[in-house]
Structure 1
């Protein structure tokens, strides 16, 4: 079949970024002030810098004539769809965001959203994690989502407590060594 008759997906059914988990039904999109700021900066950069630049390239490429074999035009249009999809995703997530400032718990030894927790498992391995929003997670750098099993097990516990974590390998006991929050 000729490529001219094949409809490319416009991405409307795929607005959500597949690398970020969906927000569970009935819950809020909690976010730290820093995470909210970073997402807003990304959105503004896409709208004010990236998209206009790609539009300029696509316009230039379109003026060159035959679009069917024009790589700048074809890849520019694809990039424009990616940018528009990301803009829709960020807009939706920021509209649903509920910014929670973890510094209000500064000095507390109880674990809530935004806490940085150091714990030890039964094997004696020490881990430090910060409980953040779904859109801010970065497990390789110790930033875990508040809906993760580890965060759920730790939430509301206090420094010195032991909590039970159900893992695929079985039950693990986590001992909380320290809890910190950012200062205002």
Structure 2
């Protein structure tokens, strides 16, 4: 059995302006704060002697590799991103950056926001534009019904609200 895996599907280059700033701040913090701290701790651990049995040295090497991996990823990803500025011309339909509410068949209401793949946050209801649910909701308007296949089965929803400025309850 080989370890080869097919390449991952490319994610959309869209991102909100705030999301892009968060990624830039993360890259800056990793490169200018975290990495120098870890390098200093690694040097101190290396000075303690036998590296093969030095848990601190081994831990710091792994930590430095994780930071370098994330820095490399962000260094390649940030230039490829396209920030979306402002709402779309048709703010009455669901597009990138929209906060919207849906009502399920059972009457439960859920709030979502469509964001870039790099800013998804399930706890906040922020879903990637590449997600099947977001794709099914795109271009829908208030009172439009749509279906999406989920791991739990077919889900039918109705759009009940669409906003492009952050709702007061989401802040």
Above 0.5 in TM-score? yes
Q: What residue number does 1:39 align with?
A: 23
Q: 1:51 aligns with which of 24, 28, 35?
A: 35
Q: 1:130 aligns with which of 100, 103, 113?
A: 113
Q: CA deviation at 1:34?
A: 1.1
Question: C-alpha offsets along residues 18-38 of structure 1, whole Å, 9 cap, x if unaligned?
Answer: xxxx5x34x632111111111
1:110 aligns with 2:93: yes
Q: What residue number does 2:70 align with?
A: 86
Q: Which runs of 5+ in 1 are unaligned?
A: 1-12, 14-21
Q: What residue number does 2:169 align with?
A: none
1:30 aligns with 2:10: no
Find the aligned partners of 2:101 and 2:89 in 1 and give their Cα distance: 16
1:61 aligns with 2:51: no
Q: 2:104 aligns with which of 118, 121, 127?
A: 121
Q: Which runs of 5+ in 2 are unaligned?
A: 167-171
With normalisation by structure 2, the TM-score equals 0.84
Find the aligned partners of 1:106 and 1:38 in 2 and give their Cα distance: 26
With normalisation by structure 1, the TM-score equals 0.78
Range that drifts further, 73-82 or 104-113: 104-113
Q: CA deviation at 1:174?
A: 1.4
RMSD over aligned CA atoms reads 2.1
Find the aligned partners of 1:28 and 1:168 in 2 and give their Cα distance: 22
Q: CA deviation at 1:166?
A: 2.7
Find the aligned partners of 2:153 and 2:162 in 1 and give their Cα distance: 25
